[in-house]
Amino acid sequence: MEENPRCKKCKRVLKSPISIARGMGPKCAGVSATRGKSVRARITRSSGIAYQSASLDQLQTPLFPGDLPTKRLSKKELYRRRREERRRSFEMRVPFQCGMLLPKRKPLVYTPLDDGSWKENPTGRVISHERLQEYLRQYRFI
């Protein structure tokens, strides 16, 4: 007489052909019942660098004085607002930040010059207005 196949961990009787082939039931194997995929907890170690909890970009300023923000902005909305601010700064010819220089994590700032071109800080490279505009549009900074 043939015995019913049992789970290797809890010794319950297995009914599903997948569980029989695996040798364990879905709970013991850590498999979700709906999709049939195993659930694994991933633990990643931190690099040890702590980021600021709230940067200047993430602080929500009210649209009108006296208005209180009701909920946090989505990443998409924050990105859109940063782009708008950069575009306004570019058009008004005021200095603006456009990323970070790695590995020293120095801010990449463009400063307008009197002759109509822009100076890239901290490298000191000078770029024409049209070329900088083309670059910023190509990489969707503005």
Structural domains in the chain (count): 2
For residues 81 and 134, membership in a common domain is answered with yes
In a domain, 8, yes or no: yes
Q: In angstroms, rounded to a whole number, what is the distance separating the alpha carbons of residues 36 and 30?
A: 10
Q: In angstroms, rounded to a whole number, what is the distance separating the alpha carbons of residues 128 and 133?
A: 9
CB-based burial, 24-44: b 16+ in 10 Å, e otherwise? bbbebbebeeeeeeeeeeeee
In a domain, 51, yes or no: no
In a domain, 65, yes or no: no
In a domain, 62, yes or no: no
Q: Which residues contact 114 (CB under 8 A, 6 or more apart)?
A: none
In a domain, 33, yes or no: yes
Please give the residue range of the domain that contains residue 21: 1-39
What are the pLDDT digits (tens) for 43-82?
Answer: 666 555 555 444 555 555 555 666 665 678 899 999 999 9
For residues 133 and 86, membership in a common domain is answered with yes
Strand order in the sheet with 125-127: 96-101, 106-112, 118-121, 125-127
Give the predicted TM-score (pTM) of the model. Answer: 0.50
For residues 79 and 34, membership in a common domain is answered with no
Segments in the chain below pLDDT 70: 1-2, 32-70
Residue 102, pLDDT score? 84
In a domain, 86, yes or no: yes
In a domain, 96, yes or no: yes
In a domain, 134, yes or no: yes
Residue 1, pLDDT score? 47
Beta bridge partners of 6: 13
